[in-house]
């Protein structure tokens, strides 16, 4: 008798162009009423089509620095969208363009750029709840007028998180949960056409690894030279929704071989309470990476080339304790300057952005005052601008509303913060998304990508 089991690799191929239309088609004059009056369900939501977006007035200016903000409509009924803004000094905060996606209630999550700057991809944190596509692609060939390109979803996974562009085109994307929002999640790979071609791991040993211990990959970092991938496990997505009594956090990172996508080792940070982010330190000779342990409020250093007590590749050591105000702050996300000197960390429910000088890892120096009241509420996504002179921080993490148990306060601002010569921060300018889009019930910007076109011969996309 032939086996009825389908190899994982075959399943991934079946899902490479998986994209399904809305279960309820748009019917003018009918589905608008359904959308506005659909009650919240315990987990899955009524898959109504989105309300059409209100008109807006574009700008024809051509700034050198452009900020793209992957944004949710505040009412969760109008279409979610990519907002394009000027970040130039003289026209800062000017809205250039709005690019809608054909769905709502996705709770837009992370955003990433291809290396050539022609494509952006944004993930939907809660797209699964309305049985919608999870990844949304935008054509930025004309950086001032992005166009919606396509969307798709994985077969085995959902809850799109961190994004890294592949040198030969396409992306790696962490999907934190299974197709049902449970553990295990997957590391998703697309080709240059942005079709899903793999849902890693696909080998037996690594698959048993992610089935044996909670695998909810959120953070993602790649050392292309050493052929290593690090992913960090954060929370089991379904556990943030009612009737879950508590969020199920993870204490692990996975070290992968880049070429084979096999998991080399599971690295544990005891009692981490969710390891939201991990990033290789640029230029570090040991290929060290920094990971954030959310419950502990600590930064740990990962040495992927060192052997642990069992002879396995990859070790973890405490690098810096961020202090009592960083404990259990729900989320700690980071970015590191390209020279490897400074790391910036958002402490979401502490309403604080921390700055560390890591140029000497044996003597880490804190550059911010942990007791300072900063002009931020719910900071989360943080990105150093391509010129390394500013931080862009978005003040929104997650609000699940009546159906969930995580609803972090936020003021829905995009902060543009100056980086001083010593790495410390000087708060400067803000885009207030709650005031920018009142006709959508406000707006919730979760993440950003910045294009710097100052030198037309050497444009920067990050």
Q: What is the pLDDT of residue 48?
A: 80
Q: What is the pLDDT of residue 46?
A: 72
Q: What is the pLDDT of residue 31?
A: 46
- Find the distance separating the first CA and the last CA of the chain, reported in whole Å: 53
Q: Is residue 45 part of a domain?
A: no
Full residue range of the structural domain in which residue 145 is found:
59-461
Tens digit of pLDDT per residue, the chain (462 long)?
A: 333 333 434 334 444 456 766 655 565 654 454 456 544 544 567 778 899 999 999 999 999 999 999 999 999 999 999 999 999 999 999 999 999 999 999 999 999 999 999 999 999 999 999 989 999 999 999 999 999 999 999 999 999 999 999 999 999 999 999 998 999 999 999 999 999 999 999 999 999 999 999 999 999 999 999 999 999 999 999 999 998 999 999 999 999 999 999 999 999 999 999 999 999 999 999 999 999 999 999 999 999 999 999 999 999 999 999 999 999 999 999 999 999 999 999 999 999 999 999 999 999 999 999 999 999 999 999 999 999 999 999 999 999 998 899 999 999 999 999 999 999 999 999 999 999 999 999 999 999 999 999 999 999 999
Tokens matching residue 380: 């989360």
Q: Is residue 28 part of a domain?
A: no
Q: What is the pLDDT of residue 19?
A: 72
Residue with tokens 């209100």: 54
Distance of CA 344 to the CA centre of its chain: 16
Q: Is residue 21 part of a domain?
A: no
Tokens matching residue 279: 């990033």
Tokens matching residue 63: 């700034």
Q: What is the pLDDT of residue 2?
A: 36
Q: Is residue 38 part of a domain?
A: no
pTM of the model: 0.91
Q: Is residue 43 part of a domain?
A: no
217-223 β-sheet, strand order? 217-223, 228-233, 252-257, 263-268
Q: Is residue 23 part of a domain?
A: no
Say how many domains are in the chain. 1
Q: Is residue 170 part of a domain?
A: yes
> Which of 170, 164, 105, 114 has the alpha carbon at shortest distance from 134?
105
Dist. CA 157–CA 218, nearest whole Å: 13
Count Cβ atoms within 10 A of the Cβ of residue 59 and give its class: 0-12 exposed, 13-18 middle, 19 or more buried.
Answer: middle
Tokens matching residue 210: 């992610």
Beta bridge partners of residue 299, listed in sequence order: 292, 320
Residue with tokens 């050198």: 64
Secondary structure (DSSP) of 403-416? GBS-B-----EEEE
Residues near 2 by Cβ (< 8 Å), separated by ≥ 6?
none
Beta bridge partners of residue 354, listed in sequence order: 345
Distances (CA, A) of 428 to 304, 378, 414: 38, 17, 11
375-405 in b/e burial notation, b at 16+ Cβ within 10 A? ebbbbbbbbbbbeeebbbbbbbbbbbeebbe
Q: Is residue 339 part of a domain?
A: yes
Q: What is the pLDDT of residue 29?
A: 58
Dist. CA 234–CA 256, nearest whole Å: 17
Q: What is the CATH number of the domain that holds 273?
A: 2.130.10.10
């Amino acid at each position: 008798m032939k086996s009825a089991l389908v190899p994982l690799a075959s399943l991934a191929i079946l899902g490479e162009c998986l994209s399904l239309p809305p279960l309820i088609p748009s019917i003018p004059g009918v589905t608008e009423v359904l959308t506005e009056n659909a009650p919240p369900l315990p987990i899955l939501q009524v898959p109504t089509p989105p309300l059409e977006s209100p008109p807006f007035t574009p700008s024809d200016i051509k700034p050198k620095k452009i900020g793209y903000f992957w944004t949710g409509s505040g009412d969760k009924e109008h279409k979610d969208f990519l907002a394009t803004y000027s970040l130039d000094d003289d026209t800062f905060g000017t809205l250039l363009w709005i690019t809608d996606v054909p769905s709502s209630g996705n709770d837009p999550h992370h955003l990433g750029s291809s290396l050539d700057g022609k494509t952006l991809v944004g993930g939907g944190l809660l797209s699964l709840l309305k049985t919608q596509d999870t990844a949304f692609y935008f054509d930025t060939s004309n950086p001032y007028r992005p166009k919606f390109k396509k969307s798709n979803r994985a077969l085995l996974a959902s809850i799109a998180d961190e994004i890294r562009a592949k040198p030969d085109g396409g992306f790696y994307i962490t999907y934190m949960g299974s197709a049902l929002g449970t553990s295990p999640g997957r590391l998703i790979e697309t080709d240059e056409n942005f079709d899903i071609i793999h849902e890693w791991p696909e080998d037996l040993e690594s698959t048993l690894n992610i089935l044996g211990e909670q695998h909810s990959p959120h953070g993602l970092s790649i050392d292309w030279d050493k052929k290593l991938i690090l992913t960090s496990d954060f929370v089991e997505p379904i556990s943030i929704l009612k009737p879950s009594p508590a969020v199920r956090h993870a204490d692990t990172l996975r070290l992968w071989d880049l070429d084979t996508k096999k998991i080399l080792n599971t690295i544990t940070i005891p009692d981490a309470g969710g390891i939201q982010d991990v990033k290789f330190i640029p230029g570090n000779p040991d290929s060290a990476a920094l990971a954030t342990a959310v419950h502990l409020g600590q930064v740990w250093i990962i040495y992927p080339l060192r052997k642990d007590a069992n002879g396995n590749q990859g070790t973890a050591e405490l690098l810096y304790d961020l202090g009592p105000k960083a404990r259990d702050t729900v989320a700690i996300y980071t970015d590191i300057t390209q020279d490897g000197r400074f790391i910036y960390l958002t402490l979401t429910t502490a309403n604080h952005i921390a700055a560390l000088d890591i140029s000497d890892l044996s003597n880490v120096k804190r550059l911010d005052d942990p007791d300072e009241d900063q002009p931020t509420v719910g900071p989360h996504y943080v990105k150093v601008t391509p010129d390394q002179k500013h931080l862009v921080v978005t003040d929104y993490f997650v609000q699940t509303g009546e159906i969930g148990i995580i609803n972090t306060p936020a003021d829905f601002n995009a902060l543009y913060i100056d980086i001083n010569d010593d790495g410390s921060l000087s708060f400067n300018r803000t885009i207030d998304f709650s005031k920018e889009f009142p006709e959508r019930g406000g707006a919730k910007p979760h993440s950003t990508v910045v294009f710097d076109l100052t030198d037309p011969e050497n444009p920067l996309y990050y």
